[in-house]
Structure 1
Amino acid sequence: MSRSQLAPGVEVVAVPGRDLAVRTAEGEFLSVRTQDADKDALLSRLAGATTAPADDELHRVVRAFEQAGYLTDEPQHPEWPAARRGIRLLGDPVLTEPLAAHLAALGAVPHTTSAAPAPEASPRDLDDLLHEDPAAVVWCLDGPVPDGLWDAADMLPERGVAWLRCHREGWQAYVEPLAAAPGDVTSAHIRARRLAATPAHRELAAYWSGPRTSGAPVRLTVPAAGLLAALLADDLRRWAIDAPDAPGSGGLPARRRLRRVDLRTLTVTEHPVLPVPEAATMPKTKPKTKPKKDG
């Protein structure tokens, strides 16, 4: 058998008075018909024992687990590839500090740009973003995104650098999809899609461009900042190890979803988002000339 043990999240339980049952990674229970198979040998085999199935019935059950995708031979915690370890972090420390801690624990090498808050809200050119040859650039804002701030960063995927970002608008935070290749969703695409999806597009555009009048400020709590950092770190880890999209995520690929986080309840909702195609230009046509009359 090529796969040796139950995949992460898959468990087998003995049901009193009945046969075995498998609990899938999605949390569903399925009955397992073992017939005359040795249950102890089966459970030992599914737990990772290297002994081969002793009889045909045991072999059949193990084979059924493998075909259903419930077995794996992959390491449960693959290492972060060396070529993708360098991660540059920009933005507000309330978000970049917990993110850096998560990334370091996962095996990445985060580099936080130390600068005062004001310069972090200023545009940067592409050469500056590519300084020290990062594998990915992450930009986190504890506030709305000023017009033009991320224009240069949107060109990072065309240079082979992954691009991930998040920002806060009042009590709502947005974790945008990671862009890793030309044609992926950029911050400009997100803004265009959000404007197109709301009847209050003029108000939203005005909110982004400012100025805004606020009362008591919204403060990111430690749990809220930790949640946002964890979502970003997980996206980066999945990109780094080329992990497949998790099943049960609503069918939305990670690079085609926008996540909205309610900072009051820490509720995360996902919304599909696609790149915005470039507007087709009208073909240029020569004006028709009227035939000249004789005489």
Structure 2
Amino acid sequence: MSRSRLVPGVEVVAVPGRGLALRTAEGEFLEVRTRDADEGALLSLLSGAGAHGEAGTGAGEAPAPADEELRHLVRAFEDAGYLADEPPPPRWPAARRDIRLLGAPALTRPLAAHLTALGAAPRTTPAAPPATSAATAPQLRDLLDGDPAAVVWCLDGPVPDGLWDAADRLPGHGVAWLRCHREGWQAYVEPLAAAPGDVTSAHLRARRLAATPAHRELAAYWSGPRTSGTPVPLTVPAAALLAALLADDLARWATGAPDPAGLPARRRLRRVDLRTLTVTEHPVLPVPDVAPMPGKTG
């Protein structure tokens, strides 16, 4: 039997006086009815113990249980998706290793460390005066310089009008586009855009304006100027969390790893409360092009 080990996140526990229970990856408990099967033998099989050196099995392959009831239980675990082979962890493909990072060093530094550990090759744009408008932002040709596989832009503040307009065109040139920004105590990790038709920053601004009755106030807040007191600090734990979320999205895009739960990364806005480090997810869709108004006839 090639599948014998429990998948990651699934565990079996012996409950005093009640037999075995399975804890799912979602944290739910299910009763395991073993009937006359040997519980110790079942636990040994599910842990992968005894998978080596058994007669009639290959290396890394668990021996088939001799007891018919035991075989039935193991097959039930496999049919329910709780058993699996152990594939090697996906490696970051060479064609997607070059990741260009722009923006606040407080965010790009931990992000670069995460990406390097995962197998990517991040390169951070040299320090320069921060872009504050579309006029001072890198143009599309600048963003495409060096043929990056992805561009990530991190802002420790709101997004000025038009700043990301050029970057929104990156997916049309085969370059993945990921970004985050902060508005006071709230930070936003926007959906990764990897192909034409994915959610851009302009789509997200339009969706947020449409979703709030305070759309005039929000638009004015983005445009500035803004008056504030003591600046909101971006703490080391908060920056590390934002960097980890970005790195995970990039790793799943690069390796093709699935999203185990929740919304897909390309249709998900994440809002991070920087006071509590609480993350909430919100679905977001692209904004379709508006058809031109038909011409009026006299």
Please give the TM-score of this superposition, normalised by the length of structure 2. Answer: 0.90
- Partner of 2:127, secondary structure, is coil
Is 2:30 the counterpart of 1:30?
Answer: yes
Contact 1:91 1:120 in 2 (8 A): no
Aligned residue in 2 for 1:277? 288
Change in Cα spacing, 1:19 to 1:153, as seen in structure 2 (3 Å) is same
Is 2:251 the counterpart of 1:237?
Answer: yes
- Partner of 1:259, secondary structure, is strand
Percent of aligned pairs sharing the same letter? 79
Q: 1:170 Cα shift?
A: 0.9
Candidates 189, 204, 207, aligned match of 1:190:
204
Q: 1:234 Cα shift?
A: 1.0
Aligned residue in 2 for 1:9? 9
Aligned residue in 1 for 2:145? 131
Q: Deviation string for 1:103-145 (max 9, x for gaps)?
A: 1111111111112242487322222111222111110000111
Aligned residue in 2 for 1:291? none
Aligned residue in 2 for 1:292? none
Candidates 254, 258, 263, aligned match of 2:269:
258
Candidates 142, 149, 153, aligned match of 2:167:
153
Amino acid at match of 1:184: D
Output the CA distance in 1 between the equivalents of 2:132 and 2:109. 14
Contact 2:268 2:281 in 1 (8 A): yes
Output the CA distance in 2 between the equivalents of 1:152 and 1:196. 23
Contact 1:139 1:164 in 2 (8 A): yes
Change in Cα spacing, 1:22 to 1:114, as seen in structure 2 (3 Å) is same
Amino acid at match of 1:31: E
Output the CA distance in 2 between the equivalents of 1:30 and 1:196. 43
Q: Deviation string for 1:122-177 (max 9, x for gaps)?
A: 32222211122211111000011111111111111122211110000111100101
Aligned residue in 1 for 2:94? 82
Output the CA distance in 2 between the equivalents of 1:134 and 1:245. 24
- Partner of 2:130, secondary structure, is helix
Aligned residue in 2 for 1:167? 181
Is 2:217 the counterpart of 1:203?
Answer: yes
Please list every run of 5 or more consecutive structure 1 residues that lacks an aligned counterpart in the other structure. 289-295
- Partner of 1:243, secondary structure, is coil
Q: Deviation string for 1:167-225 (max 9, x for gaps)?
A: 00111100101111111111001100000011111111111111112211111000111
Output the CA distance in 2 between the equivalents of 1:142 and 1:19. 53
Contact 2:179 2:190 in 1 (8 A): yes
Contact 1:190 1:273 in 2 (8 A): yes
Amino acid at match of 1:213: T
Aligned residue in 1 for 2:58? none
Amino acid at match of 1:11: E
Contact 1:89 1:139 in 2 (8 A): yes
Contact 1:10 1:22 in 2 (8 A): yes
Greater shift, 178-187 or 67-76, is seen at 67-76
Aligned residue in 2 for 1:59? 71
Output the CA distance in 1 between the equivalents of 2:120 and 2:255. 11
Please list every run of 5 or more consecutive structure 2 residues that lacks an aligned counterpart in the other structure. 52-61
- Partner of 1:22, secondary structure, is strand
Aligned residue in 2 for 1:45? 45
Output the CA distance in 2 between the equivalents of 1:253 and 1:118. 31
Task: Report 1:80-119 matches (<5 A).
Answer: 80-119=92-131
Contact 1:88 1:110 in 2 (8 A): yes
Q: Deviation string for 1:55-112 (max 9, x for gaps)?
A: 3322221121122121222436322222221111110100000011111111111111
Q: 1:229 Cα shift?
A: 0.6
- Partner of 1:180, secondary structure, is coil
Output the CA distance in 2 between the equivalents of 1:164 and 1:61. 45
Q: 1:284 Cα shift?
A: 4.1
Aligned residue in 2 for 1:293? none
CA RMSD of aligned residues (A): 1.7
